[in-house]
A and B are shown apart, each in its own frame.
Chain A
Amino acid sequence: MMTAADPLLSVTGLTKRFPGVVALSDVSLSVGRGEVHALLGENGAGKSTLLKILSGAQAPDEGSIVFDGRPVTIHSPLAAQEMGIVTIYQEFNLVPHLTIAENVFIGREPRRGPFIQWRRMERETRAILERIGMPLDPRRTVRTLSVAEQQMVEIARALSMRSRLIIMDEPTSALSEAEVTKLMGIVRDLRAEGLSIIFVTHRLDEVMAICDRFTVLRDGRNAGAGAIADVTVDDIIRLMVGRDVEALFARRDDGPTEGAEALRVEHLSRHGDGRDPHAVVLDDISLVARRGEILGIAGLVGSGRTELARAIFGADPVDRGRIFIDGKQAWIRAPHHAIRLGIGLAPEDRKQQALFLALAIRANISMATLDRLSRGIFVSEKAELAQVEEFRKALNIRMASPEQRVALLSGGNQQKVVLARWLALRPKILIVDEPTRGIDVAAKAEVHQLLYDMARSGIAVIAISSELPEILTISDRIITMRAGRITGEILRRDATEEKLMRMMTLGDTAPAAAAE
């Protein structure tokens, strides 16, 4: 294994066992000074455990850590921070009701006597935010920020601690392409200042674009490491999954776009969200989704794509507009109305919005179809288990038993459980919001395949994704959104990332839409 000449962080022989499983086995990791280091691996490969050890949240069973030339033991998250190791987790550790400045300096507020020096705290926060090109008002409450902005607050906090090694866990999974580009710029600046960064991501294009070196874990062991310049994306995928994955993401053949109309939305509008009664959430949205096609919806975070999905599904109220299912006007004011009409929604946040983590896989899959699985008021356990078995096979869900708690599954298998819940309904229309967020490469390919199968079986699939390559791979037709409006429509075969980006950011009319 290659190591940097004078590494900032050098981990050797790290082993961590949990009851019933060895999470890390003899793992090594070496991160140079001023280096952006990609830590890669499928879900369950051991990345999270390694991060937890480096951030002081867990103690290793064996192995040594050398930081800045000295052997160290990282007892606690506080100890890690004092050493200069700061971790930014996928789920942010921000207090929503406090301001940006309060969050940046939480627990370390500058004081004079017992009093917080507010002006100084705000001034320093503003300076850091400007340094990373994010001139936000430090007095805004974090609750009002977008996901991308919240992430910048996390980075600002890391910088305010004079950290030397920043660990970013899936920093881009919730960001739009433009925001990712911005984050990349910030990461480059930080590297130029001599900071080291460990970058954990599933997006290999980002790895190729920004990282200097990489370490791949597989099944809790080192699978490979080296300089990014020496490898290709395919090499890395091979190391991650342990086999060749050519054509893992084959585009499907151009699907039908002339199927019967399943869903028609006319002039859907919604003004005002919880914070701002005048905010334009959805503005005069009209669209058609046909049986057997995958309609992609592309847009930056905040463009209204998720809000559109929720409005169609009855999860959020709308002010105006009509929805037609199979040509008939539908009255949808709550999710159970939509479900009765054959619409399913796999929401963007699996854990918060879809899964019952304390319940068994069986109960999670059957939750939307209990009516069908019941005899009288009683749930038929037999019918329920038959359903689990059907979808375990069809979706290749890897589980110990139907009684296993869904919390114990990997992200990819959890997503399959969510999809199974909706497929069990035999829907006419299925909306999937970020169907592959935070799941590993192989599972992602499987989910794509599932979406193709659904479309082929006649379902109108509406897919939302922040990842343009994903939208371009899976969709037959693509609608772009910006600021609550539809800015264009384009057939997949005519679309490129550049065109979509222009439609999403500028609202340019696409050629295909103009022709119609």
Chain B
Amino acid sequence: MTADALPAQRKQIDTIGLLGRFAPLIFLLVLMVAFWLAEPNFVKPLNLTNIVLQVSVTGLLAIGMTFVILTAGIDLSVGSLLAFAGLVGAAVAKGGLESRFAVGDVTEAAGYGWGLAMLAAIAVGVIGGTLQGLAITWLRVPPFVVTLGGMSVFRGAALLFSGGGPISGFSEGYTMWGKERLFRDLLGGVGLPVPALIFLGFAVIAFIVLRYTRYGRHVYAVGGNLEAARLSGLNVRFIITSVYVIMGFFAGLGAFVLSARLDSAEAVAGQGYELTVIASVVIGGTSLFGGQGSVVGTVIGALLIGVMLNGLQLNNVSSYIQQIVIGLVIVLAVAFDLFLKSRRKT
């Protein structure tokens, strides 16, 4: 009786396992087909590349957030840090706040160029992330609290720094990082948006780091079992601090890309990004308890949110309803993940 019952049951465990692993991807494809049927314009190359363009900034942040969440941490400050870093970068490009609205060559003359602007934005992100990481590891304040505080501190710093107003009107060298499309002969002349290429490029790098390097293994170990990691000789303080530094790097880079795309840096930029970013990671299957997940999932999670918003927009669903939908999807995604896990254990 048991012998012939076995193969069928072994198959069943595979289905559940595979379903769990590919659920976000399957859901993404199903959603795309659904929107395609509702609105044929959805699958036009321009629209599809626009979706990737739209999620590229939160996607970049989500890559950093994947590292943080893998260690069982969280970073609520990403949106604020992004705003602050973007303003500092923009000010560097403009050579100060005096010519904040000047457009064109005037700015080139007074400022320090887009290269230093990008470095400045990233530096602000990295320093902010380092400070938060050190507060978590040396003051032993939980990540939730540290970054909740950081959320307020960096937003305040951004407002203080800019006096509340935006900095806008950058040179072409600057804005091309957000607006340009490369490989124009691809996709029927549509090409690939630069931010999308940056997002996907860093996703590949992060994937390699997490999957194939010693450091990546350490990140999973710390999130999986902190005490065991320590007793295995891992420098857990360094590792935990480092993920917030990485998060800060992506906040700075994201800030630069966003300001380039909007041709403006503002103190109110990135408000509510923490929700979208954490949602991308979680919908992608990374466990909030740490130790399990991947960047591939995060990319799919980010795209899923992008597709959902785009599809709703194309079908003229109000942006208020879109917010409600995103919130519900987060809860349902986690519930679905937990459901599959409980099935796998028994």
Name A's B-contacting residues (CB within 8 A): 17-20, 22, 25, 58, 313, 315, 334-336, 338-340, 345, 347, 352-359, 363, 367-368, 370-371, 374, 377-379, 381, 421
Given that A353-B231, A358-B291 are contacting pairs, would A379 and B213 also be in contact in the complex, using a CB cutoff of 8 Å? Answer: yes
Q: Which residues of A contact B229 (CB under 8 A)?
A: 356, 367
B9 touches A368 (CB 8 A): no
Expressed in whole angstroms, the minimum distance between the Cβ of B157 and any Cβ of chain A is 34
Binds A, one of B139-147, B217-225, B249-257: B217-225
Q: A19-B12, A20-B6, A378-B214 are in contact. Are A335 and B228 (CB under 8 A)?
A: no
Using A58-B346, A368-B232 as known contacts, say yes or no to A22 and B225 having CB atoms under 8 A apart.
no
8 cross-chain pairs, A with B, having the tightest CB-CB distances, nearest first: A339-B233, A336-B233, A19-B13, A356-B224, A367-B232, A19-B9, A377-B213, A370-B214
Against A, the Cβ 8 Å flags (1 = close, 0 = not) of B1-41 are 01001100110110010000000000000000000000000
CB distance from A296 to the nearest CB of B (A): 21
B184 near A: Cβ within 8 Å? no
A17-B5, A22-B2 in contact; A363/B230 too (CB < 8 A)? no
Question: B230 and A18: CB pair below 8 A?
Answer: no
The A interface is mostly helix, strand or loop, or mixed, namely mixed
Interface string of B169-209 (1 = CB under 8 A from A): 00000000000000000000000000000000000000000
Which one, A339, A355, A381, contacts B228 given CB within 8 A? A355
Could you tell me the distance in whole angstroms from the C-beta of A364 to the nearest C-beta in chain B?
Answer: 9
A359 and B232 contact, CB distance less than 8 A:
no
Docked Cα-Cα span, A378 to B209, in Å, equals 8
The interface residues of chain A lying within 8 Å CB-to-CB of B292 are: 358
Check A357/B224 contact, CB under 8 A, given A20-B10, A377-B213, A379-B214. yes
With a cutoff of 8 Å between Cβ atoms, the chain A residues found around residue B291 in the complex are 356, 358-359
Cβ-defined partner of A379 (8 Å) among B212, B233, B346: B212
| Cα–Cα, bound, A381→B212 (Å) | 8
Residues of the B chain whose Cβ atoms lie less than 8 Å from the Cβ of A374: 213-214
Contact partner, B220, options A335, A345, A359, A378, Cβ 8 Å: A359
- Taking a contact as CB atoms closer than 8 A, the residue among A313, A357, A377 that contacts B215 in the complex is A377
Contact sample, A vs B, 26 pairs, CB 8 Å cutoff: A17-B2, A17-B5, A18-B346, A19-B10, A19-B13, A20-B9, A25-B2, A335-B232, A336-B235, A347-B231, A354-B228, A354-B231, A355-B225, A356-B221, A358-B224, A359-B220, A359-B224, A359-B291, A367-B229, A367-B234, A368-B232, A370-B214, A377-B213, A377-B215, A379-B213, A379-B217
Q: CB distance A378 to B234 under 8 Å?
A: no
Q: Which residues of B contact A (CB under 8 A)?
A: 2, 5-6, 9-10, 12-13, 16, 212-215, 217-218, 220-221, 224-225, 227-235, 291-292, 346
The smallest C-beta distance from B230 to any residue of chain A, in angstroms, reads 6
- Identify A370's interface contact among B13, B217, B227, CB under 8 A: B217
- CB within 8 Å for A315 and B231 given contacts A20-B9, A25-B2, A371-B214: yes
Closest to B213 in A: A377
* Given A22-B2, A358-B291, A367-B221, A335 and B214 contact (CB-CB distance below 8 Å): no
Nearest Cβ distance between residue B24 and chain A, in whole angstroms? Answer: 18
Contacts of B214 in A (CB 8 A): 370-371, 374, 377-379
Distance to closest chain A CB from B138 (angstroms) = 14
A368 to B228, CA, bound (A): 10
With contact pairs A359-B220, A378-B212 given, residues A353 and B9 touching in the complex (Cβ less than 8 Å): no
B231 close to A356 (CB less than 8 A): no
B341 CB to nearest A CB, Å: 11
Other-chain residue from B13, B215, B217, B228 in contact with A353 (beta carbon distance below 8 A)? B228
With a cutoff of 8 Å between Cβ atoms, the chain B residues found around residue A20 in the complex are 6, 9-10, 13
Complex Cα–Cα for A167 and B225 (A): 30
Distance of A359 Cα from B70 Cα, bound (Å): 13
Bound-state Cα–Cα, A106 to B16, Å: 36
B220 / chain A contacts, CB cutoff of 8 Å: 356, 358-359, 363
A353 touches B224 (CB 8 A): no
Complex formed: what's the CA distance from A136 to B10 in Å?
50
Asked if residues A335 and B231 are in contact (CB atoms below 8 Å), the reply is yes
Closest to A338 in B: B233
B234 touches A336 (CB 8 A): yes
Task: For residue B49, give the distance in angstroms from its CB to the closest CB of chain A.
Answer: 33
* Smallest CB gap from A421: residue in B: B232
- Chain A nearest Cβ from B210, distance in angstroms: 11
Having A22-B2, A352-B228, one finds 18 other A-B pairs with CB under 8 Å, namely: A18-B346, A19-B9, A315-B230, A315-B231, A335-B230, A335-B232, A338-B233, A353-B227, A353-B228, A354-B232, A356-B220, A357-B224, A358-B220, A367-B229, A367-B232, A374-B214, A377-B215, A381-B212
Report the Cα distance A308→B233, complex, angstroms.
18
Judging by beta carbons under 8 Å apart, are A357 and B225 in contact? yes
Question: B227: which A residues are within 8 A, CB to CB?
Answer: 352-353
Q: Which of A25, A334, A354, A367 has most B Cβ within 10 Å?
A: A367
Q: Identify B221's interface contact among A335, A347, A353, A359, CB under 8 A.
A: A359
Q: Considering the complex, give the chain B residue whose CB is closest to the CB of A339.
A: B233
List the B side residues contacting A370 at CB < 8 Å: 214, 217-218
How many angstroms from the CA of A313 to the CA of B227 in the assembled complex? 13
CB contacts (< 8 Å) of B231 on chain A: these are 313, 315, 335, 345, 347, 353-354
Cβ of A408 to closest chain B Cβ, rounded Å:
10
CB-CB under 8 A from A354, the residues of chain B are 228, 231-232
Q: In the docked arrangement, what's the CA distance between A69 and B214, Å?
A: 61
CB distance from A354 to the nearest CB of B (A): 5
Contact between A17 and B232, CB atoms less than 8 A apart? no
Chain B nearest CB from A236 CB (Å) reads 27
Please report the C-alpha to C-alpha distance between residue A19 and residue B291 in the assembled complex, in whole angstroms. 25
Q: Which residue of B lies closest to A374 (CB)?
A: B214
Q: How far is the CB of A426 from chain B (nearest CB, A)?
A: 14
Bound-complex Cα distance A334 to B6 (A): 48
B5 — which chain A residues lie within 8 A by C-beta? 17, 22
